[in-house]
Structure 1
Amino acid sequence: MQENMMTLSDGRKLGFWEYGDKQGIPVFLFHGTPGSRTWFLKDDDIANTFGIRFIATDRPGYGLSDQKKHRSVLDWADDIAELADFLKTESFSVLGVSGGGAYAAAVSYRFPERTRLCVLVSSATPFHAGKPPKNMSKENRIAFFLSKHAPWILKKINSSQKKMIDRDPDKYKAALQKGGRHLPEWDNRQLTQEEVLDSTILHLKEAYRQGVEGALYETRLLTENWGFNLSNIQVPVHIWHGEEDTLSPVSEVKKMAGRFSAVTSHYIKGGGHFLTEEEQIWNEILQTILKEAAFK
């Protein structure tokens, strides 16, 4: 595994991994909660074909990136600006998946002059009064509740998951393959694919490299105010979201979309939460980046 790191101005290490065309259109990838910089088992052929340079990152407490105490969602924007400077990249686009959507929005808000395009895939949405929406899956709502009111229980659950991934990954894969009633058919179908399972194991193993504290903190952080108004984002936004997503309900995403000043929404009929694993959708996302974020 490639271990690229830079040292930020406050002394913290930030981990990242590059995919695709190293001379191509720069796009920062922001993983979900939990997640890591390891998005693919091998380099992304589609990104290479389209001339797109992906820079996947570890947020604080994940993978190779040092924890940052009391961090906010908006703090991530400053880390990305430093990484962009380190890579000599003046302007870029951002793509956030699931919990990473909050951070893609934060960078777009904080640095509109540098951000060409904001892509949100299966994105998290702001919570009203700190509470997850009632039409979110019960399992997800419980996790967010525990993150605020009983974090020691959530830590025990996540630590058990980490232990299984580290000691018996095949057992964890078998558990994933069974799917769950809280997931739509789309997502359960994705979890039957060996490549998706192998990628998920690698992704989570890196997410928990330092322990589970990063995921615990960020789960609670997503329940809080993101620290900025979505209506003040001037960067063009593209949303891809499954209509059957149970982890981030499409009804909440449509409310969020209405707050952006310039947005194009792509709602996938029958789609679940795991959209980037579908090659046709991934192609469409990259074609949009190529069209709207290319240097002119």
Structure 2
Amino acid sequence: MVFIQDLHLRDGRTLRVHDSAADHELDSAFTVLWQHGSPQTGALLKPLLSAAAARGIRLLSYGRPGYGGSSGLPGRDVAAAAADVEQLADALGIGRFAVMGASGGGPHALACAALLPERVSAVGCLASLAPLDADGFDWFAGMATDGASLRAAQLGRAERTAYEETVEFDPDSFIEADYNALAGPWAALGADVGLASAAGPDGLIDDDLAFVAPWGFPVAEIDVPVLVVQGRRDRVVPPSHGDWLSRRLPRAELWLRPDDGHISVLEACPAVMDWLSARP
């Protein structure tokens, strides 16, 4: 059972929060906060809940602004996630916690590490983008459709919004292992993406605009342990991003999974939870 509540933030916005500690039976457990991908609602998906329950972990998530019942915040940067997470943790009485993020959730997980270092014990990032201003590699190289949605975001909100009105999913974005994951253990992910997309593109557009703008914190100064998990065959976030992050983050460890794409890499989530639990 997952407890869902709407948290009212200091600026008047609402944040929809999902908490596996129904009836507070896991209040004192090791806590992991999940940063969802783009687009998703922020709901806790069955594979994550099962892995957390097997380990006695309290799992939290929330819909980023514009997703899943959370108020929008046009113009937000990646760093803004840390302020929302801080208020979430305060409201729930959680002092210290770990953070996991996948795909679009990866940069937001890193924001928590950078800006809440006294509270975040460790971070796990799966298939995370690197900052656009990262030196030493071609940020768009290897992306399906040549990163068209992110290139549109570089031109501004109007251009990114216009792109969303005509875009169609490119089936070559995923490899066979990705489609197998979506047809099997991660079917809930595909369903959740559908729900988020049906609610409108605002959250996704705001995410993309934030990814191609300055993030609001220096990645190289993050001083908590970070596990970077990357599929070598990822066509959405190419492996060069994971490589860059693992070389620039001072306390990073890289797990490069040779046969995984963008979705199948999520099969590593239980092992990532184990890694986080060993760094309370």
Return the TM-score normalized by structure 1: 0.83
Contact 1:58 1:64 in 2 (8 A): yes
Residue range with higher mean Cα deviation, 256-265 or 179-188: 179-188
Q: Find out whether 1:19 has 2:20 as its counterpart.
A: yes
Listed one character per residue, the Cα deviations across residues 178-216 of structure 1 (whole Å, up to 9, x for unaligned) are x823322321332333x533442234314653x212211
Cα separation, 2, equivalents of 1:78 and 1:230: 17
Q: 1:269 aligns with which of 258, 262, 266?
A: 258
**Residue 189 (1) aligns with residue 180 (2):** yes
Equivalent residue number for residue 195 of structure 2: 205
Unaligned runs of 5+ in 2: none
Distance 2:47 2:232 in 1: 29
Alignment CA distance shift 1:140-1:221 (3 Å): farther
The residue that corresponds to 2:236 in the other structure is 247
Shift, 1:68, TM fit: 1.3
- Report the counterpart of residue 154 of structure 1 in structure 2: 163
What is the DSSP-based 3-state SS (H/G/I as helix, E as strand, rest coil) of the residue aligned with 2:174?
coil
Q: Which residue matches 1:283?
A: 270
Shift of the alpha carbon at 1:256?
A: 1.7
Is structure 2 residue 100 aligned with structure 1 residue 95?
yes
Partner Cα distance (1:42, 1:270) in 2: 20
State the alpha-carbon separation in 1 of the partners of residues 113 and 88 from structure 2.
Answer: 15
User: What is the DSSP-based 3-state SS (H/G/I as helix, E as strand, rest coil) of the residue aligned with 1:143?
Assistant: helix
CA distance in 2, matches of 1:283, 1:100: 17
Instruction: Select between 223-232 and 125-134 the one with higher mean Cα deviation.
Output: 125-134
Measure the CA separation in 2 of the matches of 1:62 and 1:117: 25
Change (3 A) 1:56 1:157: farther
2:246 aligns with one of 257, 264, 268: 257
TM-superposed deviation, 1:132: 6.8
Q: 1:274 to 1:137 in 2, by over 3 A?
A: same
Superposed displacement of residue 105, structure 1: 0.7
Q: Alpha carbon RMSD of aligned pairs, Å?
A: 2.5
Is 1:4 aligned to 2:30, yes or no? no
1:148, CA displacement in angstroms?
Answer: 3.4
TM-score normalised by L of structure 2: 0.87
144, 147, 150: which one aligns with 1:138:
144
1:83-142: CA deviations, max 9, x gaps? 000000011111111111111111111111111011101111111389972423232611
- How far apart, CA to CA, are the structure 1 residues paired with 2:171 and 2:164? 21
The answer to whether residue 82 in structure 2 is matched with residue 82 in structure 1 is no
Alignment of 1:42-81 (within 5 A): 44-81=49-86
How many equivalent residue pairs? Answer: 271
User: What is the CA distance between 1:53 and its match in structure 2?
Assistant: 0.8
Letter in 2 for 1:188: Y
Q: Does the aligned pair in 1 maintain the 2:5–2:16 contact within 8 Å? A: yes
For 1:206 and 1:12, how far apart are their aligned partners in 2? 19
Give, in angstroms, the shift of residue 276 of structure 1: 5.5
- In structure 1, runs of 5+ residues without a counterpart are 162-175
Deviations 1:242-285 (A, max 9, x none): 1111111112221121111111111111111114642xx22211
For the residues of structure 1 that align with 2:10 and 2:272, how far apart are their CA atoms?
A: 33
CA contact 1:122–1:275 (8 Å) conserved in 2: no
